[in-house]
Amino acid sequence: MNTVEPVIVWFRQDLRLADNPALRAAFDTGKPIVPVFILDDDSAGEWKMGAASRWWLHQSLESLDSALDGRLRLFRGDAAASLRELARETGATHVFWNRCYEPWRIARDKRIKDQLRDAGLCVNSDNGSLLFEPHTITKSDGTPYKVFTPFYRKGCLSEEHAPQPPLSKPKQMELATPAVGVTLAELELMPSTHWYEEIAQQWQPGEDGAWQRLQAFLENGIRGYKQGRNRPDQNHCSRLSPHLHFGEISPRQVWQETEALANQSGIADDVDHFRSELAWREFSYYLLYHFPQLPEDNLQAKFDRFPWREDDAALARWQRGDTGVPIVDAGMRQLWRTGYMHNRVRMVVASFLIKNLMLHWHHGQMWFWDTLVDADLANNSAGWQWVAGTGADAAPYFRIFNPVLQGKKFDPDGDYVRRYVPEIAELPNRYLHSPWTAPDAVLAEANITLGKNYPEPIVDLKESRERALAAFKDLGTAA
């Protein structure tokens, strides 16, 4: 190893070389760099990564290690102990990392920073995950925003908070290679069965894959985005969410790449709307930072009295995509097969679980956590509380998505449903989103026997809607 004392770069949710502030700061010291990743399930507790995320992480670490010429050191277990061991082994004097904003990580990182400094090491942390630091944007009275639009328009878009340009990739880094660490296989991220094969066909994890996805979206998806993003049968979603979550690309890079398109004729509204979706991601992190109870507790405490049902059989049917409601089943099957679900459909399936089945949003939150490749504590928690009507700037509880109308409006030709629910593919469009309304002769011609090769609806949509509304109304009259 080089006789010059090295510096440690702790990679976390920033698995890239370009626009990586921690890596750039380490590079600027002129010292050899020890790049390290630590799988710290010990500290994560119930929020350790789900199966789909672990599959993605395996591929992403493999890609990052290749970009670092095989020099990425891997550890598993308590992060503080791993960093202390690595510092002793290498003689490192500095540790650099980019900040994370999950409550458990904030608490852990503060402890680690104190411990390392007590041991005589210098510690430097930067923002490599967000456009704006959550603590820097507040209302005029110093309190956090609870409504998205003023947060975005008055906070994020003010001159004071203009996103900084992304950093270039350091060139000719000198990388140190300590002997300590484990192999990628020893992290045990890959599942024992091959349920992920179709997921693997859908995605290219890693920094190169993230950049290719962004360019493909800007070339073929962003024009018409404002309206087209609601259509699961069309190709207007960026599908950047897992790349952003794992930090294979930064929001600053995405923001900058849209800059040249912002004033183009016929596309400015699409770019503005796409940027506002990036800002929704920021808002989710902002809420998690200021309200760390977001993943567990209703932000509107009145919902603590809501009479949620417990029905394991109904939950299992929802998870399998076996509810008898085609757009719901299509979404849940897309999730299982690809590790992803279109955002419009996410809202529909969430509304169905919470309001038609009256099951607690925690059930959906945990299922998404395990099955989404873009499972993200801030986005997942804020999204479920938004649909449930329990969070900040949430959809009111009485806004109940009608899955039949949603299907007809946003999948009018039935391409999305037919792809994921092929057993009803022969139905005419008129009945595709509500097979139970089709005449017997139409069902027979489409080779469908409800209750046999496609289920009857698990609930009556009208009756279950009225039941949910009545329960919500009772919240206002309870003592």
From the candidates 89, 280, 426, 436, give the one annotated as an active-site residue. Answer: 280
Rounded-to-integer distance, Cα 428 and Cα 439, Å: 11
Tokens describing residue 10:
């702790």
Rounded-to-integer distance, Cα 433 and Cα 45, Å: 40
261: exposed, middle or buried (Cβ count in 10 Å: 0-12, 13-18, 19+) = middle
From the candidates 47, 369, 384, 386, give the one annotated as an active-site residue. Answer: 384
DSSP β-bridge partners for residue 124: 96
Rounded-to-integer distance, Cα 260 and Cα 267, Å: 11
From the candidates 257, 308, 423, 436, give the one annotated as an active-site residue. Answer: 308
Residue 100 identity (one-letter amino acid): C
Tokens describing residue 347:
């809202």
User: Does 188 participate in catalysis according to the annotation?
Assistant: no
Angle between helices 103-118 and 79-90 (to 10 degrees): 30
From the candidates 343, 423, 426, 436, give the one annotated as an active-site residue. Answer: 343
Tokens describing residue 246:
């794992």
User: Does 343 participate in catalysis according to the annotation?
Assistant: yes
Tokens describing residue 83:
């960093």
User: Does 456 participate in catalysis according to the annotation?
Assistant: no
Identify each DSSP E strand in 31-98 by its residue range. Answer: 33-39, 73-76, 94-98
From the candidates 5, 257, 277, 423, give the one annotated as an active-site residue. Answer: 277
User: Does 277 participate in catalysis according to the annotation?
Assistant: yes
User: Does 104 participate in catalysis according to the annotation?
Assistant: no
User: Does 361 participate in catalysis according to the annotation?
Assistant: yes
- For 333-383, the three-class secondary structure string (H helix, E strand, C coil) is HHHHHHCCCCHHHHHHHHHHHHHHCCECHHHHHHHHHHHCCCCCHHHHHHH
345: exposed, middle or buried (Cβ count in 10 Å: 0-12, 13-18, 19+) = buried
DSSP string, 291-307: -TTTTTS-SSGGGGG--
Rounded-to-integer distance, Cα 337 and Cα 371, Å: 9
Rounded-to-integer distance, Cα 40 and Cα 195, Å: 25
From the candidates 55, 255, 361, 369, give the one annotated as an active-site residue. Answer: 361
**In the block, residue with structure tokens 């509880």:** 397
Q: Cite the active site residues.
A: 277, 280, 308, 343, 361, 384
